[in-house]
Amino acid sequence: MTPLRVCVAGAAGRMGRALIEAIAAAPDLRLSGALELAGSNFIGRDAGEMLGAAKSGVTVGADAEEALRASDVLIDFTRPEPTLAHLALCGRLSVKAVIGTTGFNAAQKESIQRAAKDVSIVLAPNMSVGVNLTFKLIELAAQVLNEGYDIEVIEAHHRHKVDAPSGTAVRMGEILAKTLNRSLEQDAVYGRQGVTGERKPATIGFATIRGGDIVGDHTALFAGIGERVEITHRASSRATFAQGALRAARFLAEKKSGLFDMQDVLGLR
């Protein structure tokens, strides 16, 4: 079998390194490109040596078009603007895309939907298999605990994370709101301070913690009278996100176009 050729954007970042390491260990995948911003100190270095491992034969570069021409799939965990620029190239070059980037606004999400008419895309705020199972569990919990329970989403990440709440926490809120027939736009409360008044029953609250090297903790709390139910996922290594992203890349191999998420990849839809 010919290995699937995978290009990694943000190669020198935390997720980029985890992805390159995971690809090197996968017999059915081959690293075909490693992208970094122009001016990065890692430009020109071998992607494997950058990790302190054996040479990969792939040089870290800033020319996205060159890297994508040699690739079947792009995996991108960067920022919205560079991700969309890469996605435009994917559409032109017929390269599939696995997007783990978070922080997209509504207009940017629409542009991704348009791009999916030409190429196949997996878009997910969290590629972890466990987190995506958690999404299914909180949907089930919301169906059962749909009256008399106050719902809060609590998330914690490392000090370097730039967006809040996390994309995973927002996705939890979207699932809860849809299941309960609520509007996240109207019912979400992002943090509380001062005299806030009594909690409104339809509220979906979000609490954000940032500190240290926390990889990612997410909890959906259903608090009723006399009991509470907490559904929690804790990630201790970025390897779990990398393995999920590789699973998504394999899923796209036979898909010509369309927008998918990890629920599709895992058969949980």
Query: 42 by DSSP, 3-state: which?
Result: coil
Which member of 86, 157, 218, 233 is catalytic?
A: 157
Kindly state the DSSP code that residue 3 receives in the 8-state scheme: P
Q: Is 161 a catalytic residue?
A: yes
Task: Let me know: does 50 contact 8? Beta carbons within 8 Å.
Answer: no
Report the candidate in 208, 220, 227 with the shortest Cα–Cα distance to residue 138: 220
DSSP structure string for 174-214: HHHHHHTT--HHHHEEE---S---SPPTT-EEEEEEE-TT-
Contact predicate 222/149, CB 8 Å? yes
Beta strands 120-123 and 204-210: pairing type? unpaired
Partners of residue 260 on adjacent β-strands: 122
The burial class, CB within 10 Å (0-12 / 13-18 / 19+), for 184 is middle
- Rg of the chain over all Cα atoms, to the nearest angstrom: 20
Rounded CA separation 95/166 (Å): 27
Active-site hit among 96, 117, 158, 161: 161
Retrieve residue 39's tokens. 């001016």
Active site residues: 157, 161
